[in-house]
Structure 1
Amino acid sequence: MFDPQDPEFLADPYPAFDALRAVGEVHDHPGLGMAVAVSHSACSAVLRHRGLGRVWSDVKPVEQFAAVNLLHRNSLLESEPPKHTRLRRLIAGAFARGHVERLRPWVAELAGRLVDGLAEKIEAGDSADLLVEVAGPLPVEVIAELLGVPGPDRALLQPWSNAIVKLYEYGLPPQTREAAERAAAEFVAYLRELIALRRRQPGSDLVSDLVAETDTDGARLTEDELVATAVLLLMAGHEASVNVVGNGVLALMRHRDQWQRLVEDPALLPTAVEELIRFDSPLQLFERTAATEVEIAGHVVKPGEKIAALLGAAARDPLVFDSPGTLDVGRSPNAHLGFGAGIHYCVGAPLARLEIGATLSALTRRLPTAQLAETPARRAEFVIRGLRSLHLTS
């Protein structure tokens, strides 16, 4: 069984997933304390089965993690029907007011400006880090614009997000957990002030629409739910976009024929976005807890037990994807599970696709001869798969 802290596994987990899939679709993982699904069919079943759900267990001791627990107790991601149904209807209703289309030209302009800055450093004779110059700041700016966060405050968001998302890894030291709580408490306090401002002075941003959105019975999101929604959008949106761009551009640099296809044919951008999400998934594991006894691919999950869908393993299943280890920017259809499935399908998927597509478009236009300046450094985490840096030259 794979060790999620083994550097060799973290560098390339896919051979281990292939070996497990060849033996069976679901396996017990003693180290993670749960079963793991490795086939596309089994992972899809885990994500869709209504007997499996997200059951949040408060971080303990509870009195020391008040902000972290508040965010997750009130999160769309960590809830199940009927609460999830109400939250998703309200949040989707606010999103449906045209925010993605409103932001489309702004995101394209932002991506172009950030890539121009990257290119200028490269053209001056230096290498430049794609994550620092483009992939990191772009999704933070986009989410901040979506939420209506004032410009001077936007630098606060990425450090808060980076600290909180580390809670999704396993075997954390106490100082990492404590840093996550400090970040969560600061973020909660900031958002309460922003929400109060938008109640007094509504704008064209998503927070204003979330404040105003009502359900069919007149119900609204509570303030805690508003706060949790804004935090979820930042954390999920930032981590997904930055790591798809980082992992994806690395894959393209190592598969020059596919990079060249994209340079020569911008019409491939939509399928390229989906393929980069599939090829090296930014989210490798998504867990569920059984509410009743559930059987997944012959494996019985008893009430209270957990099972995880290994999304990176599902994305390399040869029963679903032809030559799954091959990067193909024209791949279609592409039934990856990178945005989840079922009732927890990512509500921000259209925005993530917009950000990734705009970044790839700007990169291929402005830096068609881009190449790796050095072997990139990978982050030492398994669940959220990404790079520490990605230096490019030309």
Structure 2
Amino acid sequence: MENRLLTQLKSGGIGRLINITQTLFVSLLRIWSIPIVLLLSLASGFTTFYGMSYFITPWIALIITVAIQSIIVICSFELAGIHLKANRLRYSSVLASLIIAFVASMSFSYFKFYEISEHGTIRIERINEVGNQVDEYLKKLVVVKSSLLAQQKQELEKLAKEMSQAYFGTHPDIPPQYKNEVGEGPVWKHVNAIYQEKKAQLAQLEQQFGLVDQSTAALQTGLNKLDSDLAHSEQAYQEVSQGLHKVQLEFNQLTAKYRTDLPSAPILMTYSQFTETVKPSVNNLPKFTLFPLIIAGMVDFFTVLLSYRLEFSAPGPLTEREEELVFECLKQFSEFRINENDAVEIIIEKSDIERARHYVDWPRMFAVGLLLSRGFLRKVDERRVEFAPNLYPLIAEKMGDKLQKIKAQTAMQNSTLNG
């Protein structure tokens, strides 16, 4: 093989080198498409298994996934080798199997790609859900706090008014003989003592509410940290949960002696629920988004496309015998021309004379099919094919070899005649 390549390089020069390099490169690309198909099928199988395992037992999902991916590759490869008109039933059954497997793979793969693409959105939604629950609870606490403070201030204002009445002798509890006497009498002192006690209680209540406000601020800080500090999200979530419990405990202890209809604190999801992935079910499917479906379809589409193309691509350059066969068969065509692409074009149909003579053209048609499958010819339409760039050096080499043989024979004949 090495001697043949060296001989071809010496005889063909740089053109032959380019031709061999290009042919080998194309052949390597075609061979490389096989592991690409396997890798794509493996990737699609992983996502299909991942989505299917939500609905059925994992080991059953694995078996079905292997079957689905096998059907996709086998049916794609087989579909390229059959024609609708030749066998409609077989073609239809293979196509239907491919479509069913494709749809099944894409549908179950959707859930994995949905989880990947919507991971950030899902996290934000859960953070917002926790934040909304906490905010709703804190709003209720603010309402209770405001009404309680307003009630206490109203009672304090009432006592202040009674103090004023007691000072000017107009309080209803003052005996008649002391009515309208201005001064700090016994009634005023009694009301003033109650007022001062109530005022101290209100100040203490406001101070204690200030401590609750500090706990509330710490809770809000924990919520903000939950959104920003992804590296310590578990710690931040625990701080939010503990902070909410602390606010509830402090507020209830503070207001229980004044009111009994206190708002209930929300029950937050656990951290495992907060961080868990999407778990779809038959009755609880995630909302539909187009992007994950497109990605899932692309993976399966490329698997089908490359598997389909494998049937048309016979890798490897032509052997020496194939080159001889191709050259001899191409010489049997009679209609050549230069087309609009500046390429040599061949009419592959029989001419009228050949039809009249019942010419058997299967050898040259075989050569055309071989060159089409190897990429040395390009099909223009049903009647015409054109040379690919990598065919010219091969033909030039063969024509050069023939010319050298003719020259050698002529020289030998001349030497024989002269001798």
Q: The TM-score by the shorter chain falls in which range?
A: under 0.3
Identify, as 1 or 2, the structure richer in helix: 2
Taking structure 2 as the reference length, what is the TM-score of the superposition?
0.23
Taking structure 1 as the reference length, what is the TM-score of the superposition?
0.24
Identify, as 1 or 2, the structure richer in strand: 1
Higher RCO structure, 1 or 2 (CA under 8 Å, sep 6+): 1
Rg larger for? 2
